[in-house]
């Protein structure tokens, strides 16, 4: 089990602050900032990332013709931590 996502979020923010020096104010701001596409495992408390996979979906109607095109998205969760390679618990 690792805490890399939370740790790397803090170190990424610090890296941005160090890089800007006195030329800019860098803050995380509200909770919608930071790494995106994260979910927390409610049982383990570990954060993990995912890719959103978007696709077109057309239901086949009873008369065998395709229905209207709908945009759908599924989340494909990382099986391993992208930072340290530890396998996540299911
Ligand atoms: Zn990790």
Any domain includes 39: yes
Q: How far is the CA of 75 from the centre of ligand 1 (A)?
A: 20
Tell me the three state secondary structure of residue 72.
strand
User: Taking 90 as the threshold, does the pLDDT of residue 83 lie above it?
Assistant: yes
Domain-embedded: residue 18: yes
User: Percentage of residues in the chain with pLDDT exceeding 90?
Assistant: 78
Ligand 1 center to 90 CA (angstroms): 15
Q: How many Å lie between the centroid of ligand 1 and the Cα of residue 11?
A: 14
Total domains, the chain: 1
Does residue 88 belong to any structural domain of this protein?
no
User: Does residue 69 sit within a domain?
Assistant: yes
pTM over 0.85: no
CB-count exposure of residue 78 (10 Å: 0-12, 13-18, 19+) = middle
Confidence (pLDDT) at 90: 74
Q: Tens of pLDDT along 20-57?
A: 999 999 999 998 899 999 988 888 888 899 999 999 99
Q: What is the predicted pLDDT for the residue at 49?
A: 92
Distance 80 CA to ligand 1 centre (A): 8
Q: Is residue 87 part of a domain?
A: no
Domain that holds residue 63: 4-77
Instruction: Please check the confidence at residue 80 and state whether its pLDDT lies above 90.
Output: yes
Residue 51 in domain: yes
Cα 27 to ligand 1 centroid, rounded to whole Å: 24
Cα(44) to ligand 1 centroid in Å equals 14
pLDDT at 89: 82
Q: Is residue 84 part of a domain?
A: no
Q: Is residue 90 part of a domain?
A: no
């Amino acid at each position: 089990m690792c805490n890399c996502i939370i740790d790397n979020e803090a170190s990424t923010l610090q890296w941005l602050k160090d890089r800007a020096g006195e030329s800019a104010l860098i803050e995380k701001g509200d909770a919608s900032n930071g790494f995106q596409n994260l979910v927390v495992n409610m049982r383990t408390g570990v954060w993990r990332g995912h890719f959103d996979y978007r696709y077109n979906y057309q239901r086949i109607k009873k008369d065998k013709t395709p229905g209207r095109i709908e945009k759908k998205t599924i989340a494909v969760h990382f099986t391993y931590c992208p930072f340290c390679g530890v396998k996540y618990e299911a």
